[in-house]
Amino acid sequence: MKPKVLAIDDSRTIRELLRVSLEGAGFEVTSAEDGVDGVSRFPDVAPDVVITDINMPNMDGFGVIDAIRKGAVNSTVPILVLTTESAPELKARAREAGATGWIVKPFDDTSLISVLKRVSGA
């Protein structure tokens, strides 16, 4: 069974890059265009790992992390933040909210896949 990834990013380009890279590495990818979309898809997708951007309309990545961690379904799923942001205070805020890791865009396919395999147990 393929490990499932829920990729949440408002950039269509990033969602497509993630889909191509991760599906090529054997992951099943579901995309969401913002935090509200991602959180609403989360229970049905039942992902093994979530990748979320921070800066998005409607609900940002911190809201996504908070909603998943406080939810009744799969609240311990690994959550990776994939963002252009690199400020230590934002990383600390994400970690405190319950993020598992932080990856700065642009991402390296090999490194991202390695991290996803490690946190998803794939």
pLDDT in tens, 13-51: 999 999 999 999 999 999 999 999 999 999 999 999 999
Domain of 10? 4-108
User: H/E element holding 114?
Assistant: helix 109-120
pLDDT over 90 at 107, yes or no:
no
**What would the mean pLDDT of 87-96 be, rounded to a whole number?**
94
Compute the residue count for the chain: 122
Separation of alpha carbons 15 and 30, rounded Å: 9
Question: Per DSSP, what are the bridge partners of residue 41?
Answer: none
Separation of alpha carbons 58 and 108, rounded Å: 28
* Domain count within the chain: 1
Residue type, 106: P
Residue 57 lies in a domain: yes
pTM equals: 0.95
- Indicate the pLDDT class of residue 71, thresholds 50, 70 and 90: very high
Residue 117 lies in a domain: no
